[in-house]
Amino acid sequence: MRLRPALAESVDGGHDRDLILAWRNDPLTRAMSLSSKPVGKRAHARWYDLWCSSIRILMVDDVEVGAWRVDPSGDVNVMVAPAYRGKGIATLLIQLGSRDSLRSPLRATVRLENTASLRAFLRAGYVWTPCDVRRRLARLEWRA
């Protein structure tokens, strides 16, 4: 199991870009995102060109099973490939990504109904900070 950088379209012909878009537009990811609208191909390509250097992909036996991203403010986002959910991957991904990021603190904003994500972050060592109750958002934090 290892984390690798997501590759630019000029390097892999768009393989990683398309994978991230497919995971982002999967129904569960959309339901749990702050914006649940599907992301279009062109908008995603522009976003990916800008930010692919902040994405890491988790490989298990040469298969891509999840993605980790830290934005410039230290906010973390994770996605696990639909076929690999419920196997403990997110917890490992968050542990590996947090250790790898060389950044501290890291923060995650998670919908309160996103039990799997909350449990994965907590198991990986994140702690609760005050929630945004009105928007039903949990805020979790990790320090090295």
Ligand X SMILES: CC(C)(COP(=O)(O)OP(=O)(O)OC[C@H]1O[C@@H](n2cnc3c(N)ncnc32)[C@H](O)[C@@H]1OP(=O)(O)O)[C@@H](O)C(=O)NCCC(=O)NCCS
Smallest distance, ligand X to C-beta of residue 58, A: 10
- Residue nearest ligand X (C-beta atom): 90
Q: Containing H/E element for 4?
A: strand 2-5
Question: Cα 10 to the chain's mean position, in Å?
Answer: 23
Strand, coil or helix: 142: strand
Smallest distance, ligand X to C-beta of residue 19, A: 13
Q: Which residues inside 75-114 make contact with ligand X, applying CB under 6 A?
A: 77-80, 85-91, 108, 110, 114
> Do you know the residue count of the chain?
144
Q: Which residues inside 21-60 make contact with ligand X, applying CB under 6 A?
A: 28-29, 32
Residues that bind ligand X (CB under 6 A): 28-29, 32, 77-80, 85-91, 108, 110, 114-117, 119-120, 123
